[in-house]
Amino acid sequence: MKKTTKEILLALFLGIVCPGLLFWTVDKIRPIPESRADDTTAFVSAQQEVTEISVKLENAVEQMELEAYLVGVVLQEMPASFEEEALKAQAVVARTYTLKRLEAGGKHEEADICTNSSCCQGYCSPEDYLTEEGKQDELDKVMNAVFNTAGQVLIYDGELIEATYFSCSGGQTEDAKAVWGSEIPYLQSIESPGEENATHYVDTVKFTLEEFTESLDITPVGEPKFWIGETTYTQGGGVDTMYICGVEYKGTTLRQKLGLRSTAFAVSIVGSTVTITTKGYGHRVGMSQYGAEAMAVLGKLYTEILSHYYQNTQLVAYDGN
């Protein structure tokens, strides 16, 4: 069943939650003028086909309409209490991330994308959101963010970007090379001020000496206070490499082995306690969600948020190819 854009928006404003009936379409890739970037009807054509994706849920694979799926992603991935412009930035980023997976033939054998946030993107259906004490006005706010950016994606050099995002940077994002080893021009380390209110802006975890050495599978050498040796840092303030008991580790390896919130950490060993203080939460590459919120609070538009975190990219209407 096809619906016109006006019908979609009417359904949206009536608060109807019926993903099967809602769809969006766009005609061709073209830059979105800043002044009209908010005006969905300016570039959405009603004549085209709905984009469907297969989503791997916990116990099933479901076919979903892209924009309806994105409502569920934004509901799960960003607090609905965030500013509208931050939610819109999140919607564009989640859409770009999803279509990139789709263009690559799907991330999973049985589905294009899954709902595990550490693998693909989290997802919460509107029905579940309301059942789990979410409020209708929050749902409406998220739906508005998705539909007011319908079809909009980020490209670089004519291709969809790798739109990675994370919770909180701790003040400075990381470049892609530092975390994944390959240089990506639009994923560079950049300042991300105003995140101090984020839940995990700074965190501290403590280990016993045994827990620490067992997690790293190393043999203790000498006095604990001398275990930590030379440390190098990335552009984004993360640990690049660190010597522990004479063994060199990558910061990313230490984060994984010790279950740290980020690679931006400092280790202190006093007596029989290892204290690790982390800044930020996540891989810290791409858009910081708390940073996006901080920009939105200052009155920045979602277009400005996106061009800050993904430098030299363009916001365009997706052409569906």
Binding footprint of Zn ion on the chain (CB under 5 A): 114, 119-120
CA-based torsion, 251, 169, 89, 158: positive or negative: negative
Question: Please, what sign has the CA dihedral across residues 66, 71, 75, 81?
Answer: positive
Q: Which is nearer to Zn ion, 113 or 264 (CB)?
A: 113
**Cβ contacts of residue 90 below 8 Å, gap of 6+?**
74, 77, 78, 82, 145, 165, 287, 289, 292
Sign of CA dihedral 58, 59, 61, 62: negative
Nearest-approach distance from CB 120 to Zn ion, in angstroms: 3
Joined tokens for residue 125: 């259906």
For residues 106 and 185, which CB has a smaller minimum distance to Zn ion in the complex? 106
Task: For Zn ion, give the closer residue by CB, 107 or 141.
Answer: 107
Could you tell me if 273 and 207 are in contact, meaning their C-beta atoms sit under 8 angstroms apart? yes
Nearest distance, CB of residue 292 and Zn ion, angstroms: 23
Nearest CA-CA partner of 254 in 271, 231, 225? 231
253: left (phi over 0), alpha (psi -120 to 50) or beta: alpha
Smallest separation, CB 107 to Zn ion (Å): 5
Q: How far is the CB of 125 from Zn ion (least distance, A)?
A: 17
Instruction: Give the residue with the Cβ less far from Zn ion, 114 or 258.
Output: 114
| CB 242 to Zn ion: min, Å | 30
For Zn ion, give the closer residue by CB, 119 or 266.
119
Cα separations in angstroms, 38 against 27, 82, 113, 303: 17, 18, 27, 9
Question: Can you tell me whether residue 295 is helix, strand or coil?
Answer: helix
Query: In terms of CB distance, is 120 or 317 closer to Zn ion?
Result: 120
Least Å distance between CB 273 and Zn ion? 37
